[in-house]
A and B are shown apart, each in its own frame.
Chain A
Amino acid sequence: MDNTLDKKLINYGEAIYEATYQEMAINDNVFTYGLGVDDPKGHYGTTKNLHRDFGNKRCFDTPLSEDSLTGIGIGAALAGLRPIYVHQRMDFLLLCMNQLVNMAAKIRYMSSGEHTVPLVVRAAIGRSWGQGAQHSQALHSYFMHIPGIKVIAPTTPHDAKGALIASIRDNNPVIFVEHRMLYKNAGYVPSESYEVPFGKGRILREGNDITIVGVSHTVEDSLRAAELLKDVGVNAEIIDPISLSPIDYDLIRKSVDKTKKLLVVDNGWSTCGFSSEIITDVAINCSNIRCERMGFANTPCPTTPSLEKDFYPNPRTIAVTANNMCDGDSKWNPPEVTQQEITSFKGPF
């Protein structure tokens, strides 16, 4: 992180707003659109009043037509604009797949570089307070599978701002993964403009005993697990990959070469997912590494809290898994950790 810049304490949502505002202010070609971007709530404040500051042409609400609106963004990008298409839930990207996969990802290749698609698609993963099966999906691995698309999933306010600025300036289609449970997270963020680059992860906590790699909100829970693990003398290294495509494999390889143990905690399903990719890379490129993975239960997400609590990995289950990998006491029963952002959330969305 750059320590020379002037910083202030803001939350993740405000950081996304600040990135958008600053980029729209310096580049007339940047515009923001999506369902509700100009409504009074402005998508958790991330787009609030942009239509007043920049006009309806550069910040507009849309019909409920995600398929065409994705293509419209691609078409505008082909004409030299830099659209940011905002989705209130990642689940809705399933309505956009033809355009994202068949067009956005391939136009550059199919035209041998004659045309590029600088489109940013922001999508928020939902969780808690009854999101259920269709408002909670995390589909980052779908997009990691596709050559021609970049995927970035920042966890901290600092990285949210810098990664969004990098995404807007990037000449490729970018899926910018947000998480509803991160919007209120506060952190010190430089007031000035800066980029958090693709392909670079970050070690958020150094340790020697085990490497834990999270994604988006599970990075938070992994940090909480690391605190629990201190009680049993396990010093966990926590990696936030930030950029999921391209991935900073070097950072992860170096860490596991040191700790010899890798736990990937995905914020999504495990099968054919982020964890499969990371563990495969480590299996090929590193020696004698013990690997485990955690992720969503292999079910759709249930709505009732009594089942939903078992659907997600949590700090406690992460800590127990890590401790077992470190040959700790298998009967260790760490305390529950309050996930304030989850317990305090009261809708109405």
Chain B
Amino acid sequence: MTKKFNLEQAYYLFLLIRESEEKIIDLYSTDKIKSPVHLSIGQEAIAVGVSMALRQEDVIFSNYRGHAHYLAREANLDKMWAELYGKSRGTARGKGGSMHLNDASKNFMPTSAIVSTSVPEAVGYAYALKYKMEPGVVICYHGDGATEEGVFWESLNFASLHNLPIIFICENNEYAIYTHQNKRTLGDPIVDRANSFGVNSCKVKGNETEDFYNITIDCLNKIKKKSNPYLIECMTTRWKDHVGVGDGIDLNYRDHKEINRALENDDLKNLEKQLSEKIVSKIKLRVQEEIKQAVIFAESGKFPNSKELHENVYG
């Protein structure tokens, strides 16, 4: 596979995520989104780079910080917004909310709000793809905190034992809520530990979209030749609070320099610099219009009827 990195598309997806999250921040005080949100701002480059490398047949497992993964997969923006508003036009007719998005048409599986809990599901899906001799590869997004759960390593062991077609995308933003990784585990262990399970692993620093794209393409090519699990530890920075729309700066749980460095290295600006002004303004207009329409779609939709409370408990 020699698919070239599409700069315009990367910028569009990145901006769509950034602006969509910013819109949530703008509207949050209205309390129209009556649920927790775990914003992806600062971490968009991973989702954009990875998603642009994927093909239709690939399958995505994500988590409660999943807006970027969802939008980068070009899943339905209108439905995501309707879901945030709890409307029946939403991805789960309002029963899921921000933490439980899904879009079957994009192979974007329902996300979980419990750390590491959808990791074995991703592995099981990869087992099924191999079982049915289908061509897809599973992408399993998770955070650094997920690697502290026992189930994570159980899952890697099984993926390795059965040579499953899966790429674990570890988004390492170094914080579990406000607790730094160095208070939770010794050293810098994720890649070494994953390698020791027979999962080929590497670390990518710099938080740049094109790097994440290239490494994903590389892994997909290797899997195409021989089915095996891979892990990419993607170093990144969460700009906002763990949950909600604040930045948490006044909590002083981390050095302000960390955030400032990340803001200076914003890959959205780097992508923008490489495009002509004309293209940038065209994409900005497109993104603004799409988000405007999505908010209208959400606001104008109906809430589900009371009878829906009892629907879809069983099938």
When the two chains form their complex, are residues B120 and A69 in contact, meaning their CB atoms are under 8 A apart? yes
Alpha-carbon gap, A114 to B126, bound state (A)? 19
For residue B132, CB closer than 8 A to chain A, the reply is: yes
**Choice from B100, B131, B150, B314 contacting A57 with Cβ under 8 Å:** B131
Task: List chain B residues, Cβ under 8 A from A114.
Answer: 92, 102, 104, 110
**Choice from A31, A57, A171 contacting B315 with Cβ under 8 Å:** A171
Binding site for A on B (CB under 8 A): 59, 61, 91-93, 95-96, 100, 102, 104, 109-110, 112, 114, 117-129, 131-132, 150-151, 154-155, 157-158, 161, 311-315
Interface centre among B104, B118, B123, B128 (most CB of A within 10 A): B128
When the two chains form their complex, are residues A150 and B314 in contact, meaning their CB atoms are under 8 A apart? yes
For residue A347, CB closer than 8 A to chain B, the reply is: no
Alpha-carbon gap, A172 to B109, bound state (A)? 17
Given contact pairs A63-B154, A72-B155, A102-B112, A79 touches B95 in the complex (Cβ within 8 A): no
Task: List chain A residues, Cβ under 8 A from B95.
Answer: 109-112
When the two chains form their complex, are residues A72 and B127 in contact, meaning their CB atoms are under 8 A apart? yes
For residue A145, CB closer than 8 A to chain B, the reply is: no
Task: List chain A residues, Cβ under 8 A from B91.
Answer: 111
Interface pairs (16), CB distance under 8 Å: A67-B150, A68-B158, A70-B120, A71-B117, A71-B119, A72-B158, A75-B61, A76-B124, A78-B109, A78-B124, A81-B132, A108-B315, A110-B100, A111-B100, A111-B110, A114-B110
Alpha-carbon gap, A62 to B92, bound state (A)? 34
Task: List chain B residues, Cβ under 8 A from A63.
Answer: 154, 157-158, 161
Alpha-carbon gap, A98 to B116, bound state (A)? 11
Alpha-carbon gap, A69 to B61, bound state (A)? 17
Interface centre among B104, B131, B314 (most CB of A within 10 A): B314
When the two chains form their complex, are residues A81 and B128 in contact, meaning their CB atoms are under 8 A apart? yes
Shortest beta-carbon distance from B56 to chain A in Å: 15
Task: List chain B residues, Cβ under 8 A from A78.
Answer: 109, 121, 124-125, 128
When the two chains form their complex, are residues A76 and B127 in contact, meaning their CB atoms are under 8 A apart? yes
Number of A residues near B (Cβ < 8 Å) is: 40
When the two chains form their complex, are residues A111 and B128 in contact, meaning their CB atoms are under 8 A apart? no
Binding site for B on A (CB under 8 A): 31, 57, 62-63, 65, 67-81, 83, 98-99, 102-103, 107-116, 147-148, 150, 171-172
When the two chains form their complex, are residues B157 and A115 in contact, meaning their CB atoms are under 8 A apart? no
Alpha-carbon gap, A113 to B304, bound state (A)? 14
In the complex, the 4 A-B pairs of residues with the closest C-beta atoms, listed nearest first: A75-B124, A71-B120, A79-B128, A68-B154
Task: List chain A residues, Cβ under 8 A from B131.
Answer: 31, 57, 76, 81
When the two chains form their complex, are residues A71 and B92 in contact, meaning their CB atoms are under 8 A apart? no
Task: List chain B residues, Cβ under 8 A from A172.
Answer: 314-315
| Chain A minimum-CB-distance residue to B113 | A102
Task: List chain B residues, Cβ under 8 A from A77.
Answer: 124
Given contacts A71-B151, A75-B128, 20 further A-B contacts (CB under 8 A): A63-B161, A65-B151, A68-B119, A68-B154, A69-B158, A71-B123, A71-B124, A72-B121, A75-B122, A79-B129, A81-B131, A83-B124, A98-B117, A110-B92, A110-B102, A111-B110, A113-B311, A114-B102, A115-B104, A172-B315
Alpha-carbon gap, A114 to B61, bound state (A)? 15
Shortest beta-carbon distance from A173 to chain B in Å: 10
When the two chains form their complex, are residues A113 and B121 in contact, meaning their CB atoms are under 8 A apart? no
When the two chains form their complex, are residues B96 and A112 in contact, meaning their CB atoms are under 8 A apart? yes
